[in-house]
């Protein structure tokens, strides 16, 4: 079974590291995975996105024209990518920053006040981890344990950072 997800937002919101975390988690689970970031001038312009594909079989293309899951961390991404989602797909919106109304009735919309929840934790930077927690819970594409494991690997010896990121992950995970 092949699933594809697209994660988008402003540069600096940690959308690429969210995607990487999911990809690492899938790899830890022994599955095939591809991760493709937007690159070059597009990124320099201030918006970033990445595509992750996970499958138990070979993955033909790392590009997603109609992903099952889209995460929009900001308003421009919500507007740009709302029409890309497959029918029946999930649309994760960072409701702290996204005000636009999504008019599609064939997808499920998941509101996550990621920035607000991160601020409540005292570290606004981990909004992406709040979203990642909620995404993991709601999408079920990877195990939450694998996400934690991947995070610990990425951050290595930075114990303090791991703690705050884990807290945010758990908070997002427990939202739904």
Partner 1 sequence: MRWSAPRLPSRSTVSKVLMDGNSAIAEAAIRAGLRCYFGYPITPQNELTEYMAMHLGRKKGCTFLQAESEVAAINMVYGASLVGARAMTSSSSPGISLKQEGISYLAACELPAVIVNMQRGGPGLGSIAAAQSDYFQATRGGGHGDYRTIVLGPSSVQELADMTMRAFDLADKYKIPVMILGDGVLGQMKEPVEFKREAPEITPTREGTLQGAGGGASRIVKTFTSNPSELEEINWSLFRRYQLIKKNETTWDTYMTDDARLVVVAYGIAARIARGAIKSLRAKGLKVGLFRPVTLWPFPDEPLRELVKNVRQLLVFEMNMGQMIEDVQLALAGKGEVSFYGRPGGVIPAPDEVGRVMSRLYYQKGLK
Using the rule CB under 8 A, is 58 a contact of partner 1?
yes
**Comparison of 37 and 124: residue with beta carbon closer to partner 1:** 37
Q: Which residue do the tokens 């990445």 mark?
A: 50
- The dihedral built from the CA positions of residue 65, 69, 72 and 73, taken in this order, carries a sign that is negative
Smallest separation, CB 105 to partner 1 (Å): 24
Smallest separation, CB 24 to partner 1 (Å): 5
**Comparison of 80 and 84: residue with beta carbon closer to partner 1:** 84
Helix (H) or strand (E) holding 112: strand 108-112
Q: Which residue do the tokens 């758990």 mark?
A: 170
Residues 98-127 that bind partner 1 (CB under 8 A): none
Q: What is the CA radius of gyration of the chain?
A: 15
Residues forming a β-bridge with 3: 54
Q: Which residue do the tokens 């995070």 mark?
A: 151
Using the rule CB under 8 A, is 153 a contact of partner 1?
yes
**Comparison of 30 and 105: residue with beta carbon closer to partner 1:** 30
Measured CA to CA, the distance from residue 20 to residue 30 in angstroms comes to 15
Residues that bind partner 1 (CB under 8 A): 20, 23-24, 27-28, 32-37, 39-41, 57-63, 65, 137, 144-146, 148-149, 153, 170, 173-174
């Amino acid at each position: 079974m092949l699933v594809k997800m697209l994660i988008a937002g402003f540069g600096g919101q940690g959308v690429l590291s969210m995607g990487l975390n999911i990809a690492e988690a899938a790899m830890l689970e022994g599955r095939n995975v591809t991760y493709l970031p937007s690159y070059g001038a597009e990124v320099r312009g201030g918006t970033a996105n990445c595509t992750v594909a996970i499958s138990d079989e070979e993955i033909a293309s790392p590009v997603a024209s109609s992903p099952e899951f889209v995460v929009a961390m900001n308003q421009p991404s919500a507007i740009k990518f709302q029409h890309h989602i497959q029918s029946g797909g999930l649309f994760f919106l960072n409701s702290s920053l996204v005000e636009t109304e999504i008019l599609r009735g064939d997808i499920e919309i998941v509101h996550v006040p990621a920035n607000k929840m991160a601020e409540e934790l005292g570290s606004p930077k981990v909004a992406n981890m709040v979203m990642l927690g909620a995404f993991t819970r709601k999408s079920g594409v990877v195990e939450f344990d694998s996400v934690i494991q991947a995070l610990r690997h990425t951050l290595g010896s930075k114990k303090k950072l791991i703690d705050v990121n884990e807290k945010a992950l758990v908070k997002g995970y427990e939202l739904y």
